[in-house]
Amino acid sequence: MKKLFVIGNPISHSLSPKLHNYWIKQEKIEAIYDKKLLEKEELEENILKIKDGKISGMNVTLPFKKLVIPFLDELTENAKITQSVNTIYLHKKKVYGDNTDIYGFKTPLEDFGFNGENKKALILGAGGVSASSIVALKNLGVVQIILMNRTKQKAIEIKKMFEDIEVKNWGEKVNFDIVVNCTSLGLNNEDIGIDFSDIKDKIFYDIIYKPKTKFIINAEKNNKVISGKMMFIYQAQKSFEIWHGILPKIDSKVVELIND
């Protein structure tokens, strides 16, 4: 029986077990997926359990996506360029860290028919998923990326990884074709605190997987909106494929599972 976990702190809200166990059952795989609340000091011993074969794989969520890196043997290219790991697995006796957030972020935009050519993106927030969003937008051909974060220094740190992005002050007025909420604002129904009321016919993309954040509600009358729900499902789908070698189906039942 394969044992898989999502690790994070906090972790009680995670919908990953629901989704993975649904697919595990559907694909008739001998496995169980659970959540595990960890402290930073426990990361190393838990990752060693993957090396020992006691755990088959892990998803990593906040605040550990970067902190797990020193305990891994290898990083995939996507994990390396973002310095962010959300999927861990064993391959030829080595513990690998991969990043499926890029795929998760990119695929809903592709489904939507988004073409990045000549497009300008504004990213709000310099937290755990911002680098993945930047890589995904670049892959989609976006020509200009502006990053703003309440704590400007953190945006400047990300610019060191992606020199061609621009850093602006939090809340500064800029033109864009797509704006992405990569902050945690909205998780508890908070407003983003930036006035977009005069913006029309643009794309508002929230990485928070609640269907209706204030960011989305305020924008949807005059703009196209994408919630983080499909991003969440797609990143999980890719992790599932990495561990089990099967790309599980995304049907209406799967989408419903994430509705609460």
Query: In the range 177-196, which residues lie near ligand ATR by CB under 6 A?
Result: 183-185, 193
Cβ(47)–Cβ(34) below 8 Å: no
- Identify the active-site residue in 35, 65, 106, 229: 65
Nearer to ligand ATR, 114 or 176 (CB): 176
Q: Residue 148 and residue 168: Cα distance in Å, rounded?
A: 5
**150, 159, 214, 224: which one binds ligand ATR (CB under 6 A):** 150
Residue 127 binds ligand ATR (CB under 6 A): yes
Contact stretch for ligand ATR (CB under 6 A) within 48-56, 145-153, 203-211, 235-243: 145-153
Q: Which residues contact 132 (CB under 8 A, 6 or more apart)?
A: 82, 84, 99, 101, 102, 104, 105
CB of 126 to ligand ATR, least distance (A): 5
Nearest to 182 by CA among 150, 217, 141: 150
Q: Residue 117 and residue 3: Cα distance in Å, rounded?
A: 42
Nearest to 187 by CA among 215, 208, 204, 206: 208
**18, 36, 51, 62: which one binds ligand ATR (CB under 6 A):** 62
Nearer to ligand ATR, 133 or 183 (CB): 183
Secondary structure E strands in 61-218: 74-75, 87-91, 94-98, 120-124, 144-149, 166-169, 178-181, 203-206
Site string (19-58) toward ligand ATR, x via CB under 6 A: ----------------------------------------
Q: Residue 153 and residue 133: Cα distance in Å, rounded?
A: 18
Tell me whether residue 2 is one of the annotated catalytic residues. no
Contact stretch for ligand ATR (CB under 6 A) within 27-35, 38-46, 80-88, 121-129: 121-129
Instruction: Name the closest residue to ligand ATR (Cβ).
Output: 127
Q: What is the DSSP letter of 218?
A: H
Residues recognised as catalytic:
65
Q: What is the binding site for ligand ATR (CB under 6 A)? A: 62-63, 125-128, 149-151, 154, 183-185, 193
